[in-house]
Chains A and B, each alone.
Chain A
Amino acid sequence: MRNRSVAVVLTLAAAAGIAAFVLASAARNSTAAAASETNSYAAARTAWGDPDFQGVWRYEAVIALERPARFAGREFLTDAEIAQIEQTEKDQEARRLAGVEGEAVGRQSVAASPIRGNEYNSFWQDHGRPRKVYKQTSLITDPRDGRIPYTPDAQKADARAGARYGVGPYESYLDPDTGERCLTDGVTGMMWQGPNGGHNQIVQSPGYVTILHEEYRDRRIIPVDGRPHGKIRQWFGDSVGHWEGDTLVVDTTNFVDKTNYEWASIWTRPSETLHLVERFKRTDADTLEYTITVEDPMTFVKRWTAVIPISRIPDGAQIYEYACHEGNYAMPNLLSGARADAAKKTTGR
């Protein structure tokens, strides 16, 4: 009986798999068709002939990294869903401009989302321009379920990191997340993350592409002169770039293993086996299609890819300093908070 149930399940799974493959192929074809239409954009060139990515860029889209459960099995939103999300964004923007805060702009209450900084209202945040709605239901396009293919151990580590972020235990300055320690949130999400400074400035010179990320003032100097990887392991690894037509391809290896530190999101942590490939391509004057392919047997069972649309901020935009340690009162505050919590438990008050 049990075996037959398994067989039925397997048969159904196989059928579903074939159906998914057929649908996926159809979707892929339509994506390819759409892509070839947008490929007509003739990339601007620098004075020395390289594709020109210079300027300030910021992620302004409303797409989850991992596909939310409500979109399971679907890679694209329907036109009606797009219209609805666009309307929501427009309404929220109008309310923000009118100074309305909180639940009225569709935000979660403290009770609904008690940690992770939800207590700050939008007055303190840099919203950027109204967010852009795209068809994708997740930034992750491969695997096709739009989910990060964690190893069982990494899955556990991710759950643990999620549970302790903002909660502790904080016995030492080593316990907070690397971001809370003013170090970095890692290179994997750098181009599109950073609520306290998500802007990235790209500056090019012959043979180099440099990227300055506002939060933590992270910076990368990427040679695109054909040199091989070096041998020194570093937090941001060792990046070398090359051009494939109008696309900048950056290959990064030689990360130093910092998996023993706390990372609020496990997919951002580097290990020695992390191999990151980034592709930068302008699809129009104001949009950068940024694709990451992440491979690391220590954290993922297979490699995964995310396609991230990033917007150009108009000329004159500036990156500001983010001297994180200048006034990082958070460190003593959260350590003293942890001591206060411990004392409460001891005294029962």
Chain B
Amino acid sequence: MRTNVAVLFGCLAILVAAMPVWAHHAFAAEFDAKKPIKLQGTVAKMEWINPHTWIHIDVKRPNGKVERWMIEGGPPNALYRRGFTKDSLPLGIEIIVEGFQAKDGSMRGNGRDLTLPNGRKLFLGSSGTGAPLDAKDGKDR
């Protein structure tokens, strides 16, 4: 398992999902679409707060220095409806996060893709729709 950091900036071809026009807030005001980031680190803290969750990860730089990054996630209610709970991301687990860095250059970013070290994306092939029905009717995988 690689513990080195990969922080990649560059104009990558990013394939994304469109959200309804009315997001809670505007991505472009906070984050820089020209600064895609890819971070590998251990989960230090997960803030289950409104209007967006924030995952704190410790990222070890090649020089040994550890940086604490904050990654913005979806709203807690939406994640919960998708089956993402407090147990889904235990402290200390190593994850890879891809997203975009804050415009002010601080160690904050929004999270687009979240991958476990074994390469499995969280909830891949799992809770897909997130509606309350899913958890109860057994159709959910």
Contact (A214, B29) CB under 8 Å given A118-B17, A265-B22: no
A189: chain B residues at CB < 8 Å are 22
B129 and A93 contacting across the interface, CB-CB below 8 Å = yes
Partner of A128, one of B18, B105, B110, B129: B129
In chain B, positions 56-103 with a C-beta closer than 8 Å to chain A are 70, 72-82, 99-100, 102-103
Binary interface encoding of chain A residues 93-127 relative to chain B, with 1 for a CB under 8 A from any of its CBs, else 0 = 10011110111110111100111111111111111
A105: chain B residues at CB < 8 Å are 17
B78 and A118 contacting across the interface, CB-CB below 8 Å = no
B50 and A324 contacting across the interface, CB-CB below 8 Å = yes
B22 and A195 contacting across the interface, CB-CB below 8 Å = yes
A130: chain B residues at CB < 8 Å are 129
Partner of B49, one of A124, A197, A326: A326
B116 within 8 A of A: no
A2 within 8 A of B: no
Partner of B24, one of A56, A180, A337, A338: A180
Q: Which of A107, A109, A119 has the most CB of B within 10 A?
A: A119
Partner of B112, one of A113, A120, A320: A120
User: Closest approach, in angstroms, between the C-beta of A49 and any C-beta of chain B?
Assistant: 29
A238 within 8 A of B: no
A327 and B22 contacting across the interface, CB-CB below 8 Å = no
A117 and B27 contacting across the interface, CB-CB below 8 Å = yes
Partner of A125, one of B19, B50, B72: B19
A107 and B132 contacting across the interface, CB-CB below 8 Å = no
A153 within 8 A of B: no
**What CA separation (Å) do A186 and B79 show in the bound complex?**
24
B18 and A118 contacting across the interface, CB-CB below 8 Å = yes
A340: chain B residues at CB < 8 Å are 103-105
Partner of B141, one of A97, A176, A327, A339: A97
A334 within 8 A of B: yes
Q: Give the number of A-B contacts (CB < 8 Å).
A: 249
Contact (A127, B110) CB under 8 Å given A114-B33, A321-B50, A323-B50: no
Contact (A117, B108) CB under 8 Å given A99-B121, A105-B17: no
Chain A's closest residue to B14 (CB) is A110
User: Closest approach, in angstroms, between the C-beta of A300 and any C-beta of chain B?
Assistant: 20
**What CA separation (Å) do A179 and B20 show in the bound complex?**
14
Chain A's closest residue to B103 (CB) is A337
Binary interface encoding of chain B residues 12-44 relative to chain A, with 1 for a CB under 8 A from any of its CBs, else 0 = 011111111111111111111100000000000
B45 within 8 A of A: no
Chain A's closest residue to B52 (CB) is A327
B24 and A330 contacting across the interface, CB-CB below 8 Å = yes
A301: chain B residues at CB < 8 Å are none
B124 within 8 A of A: yes
A264 within 8 A of B: yes
**What CA separation (Å) do A35 and B125 show in the bound complex?**
40
Binary interface encoding of chain A residues 41-54 relative to chain B, with 1 for a CB under 8 A from any of its CBs, else 0 = 00000000000000
A182 within 8 A of B: yes
A126 and B23 contacting across the interface, CB-CB below 8 Å = no
B51: chain A residues at CB < 8 Å are 182, 196, 322, 324, 326-328, 330
Contact (A196, B24) CB under 8 Å given A119-B33, A327-B47: yes
**What CA separation (Å) do A166 and B27 show in the bound complex?**
6
Chain A's closest residue to B24 (CB) is A196
Q: Which of B32, B76, B99 has the most CB of A within 10 A?
A: B76
A195 and B19 contacting across the interface, CB-CB below 8 Å = yes
A124 and B15 contacting across the interface, CB-CB below 8 Å = no
**What CA separation (Å) do A177 and B110 show in the bound complex?**
20
Contact (A179, B132) CB under 8 Å given A119-B31, A167-B29: no
B131 within 8 A of A: yes
Partner of A195, one of B20, B29, B124: B20
B24 and A215 contacting across the interface, CB-CB below 8 Å = yes
B121: chain A residues at CB < 8 Å are 99, 123
B106 within 8 A of A: yes
A327: chain B residues at CB < 8 Å are 47, 49-52, 54
Q: 10 interchain pairs (CB within 8 A)?
A: A107-B17, A116-B21, A117-B23, A126-B82, A129-B133, A130-B129, A313-B132, A316-B132, A323-B50, A337-B102
12 further A-B contacts with Cβ under 8 Å, apart from A127-B131, A130-B129, are A101-B113, A102-B16, A109-B14, A116-B21, A124-B73, A127-B129, A195-B22, A265-B22, A313-B131, A316-B136, A333-B30, A337-B30
Q: Give the 3 A-B CB pairs with smallest separation, nearest first.
A: A166-B26, A102-B15, A124-B74
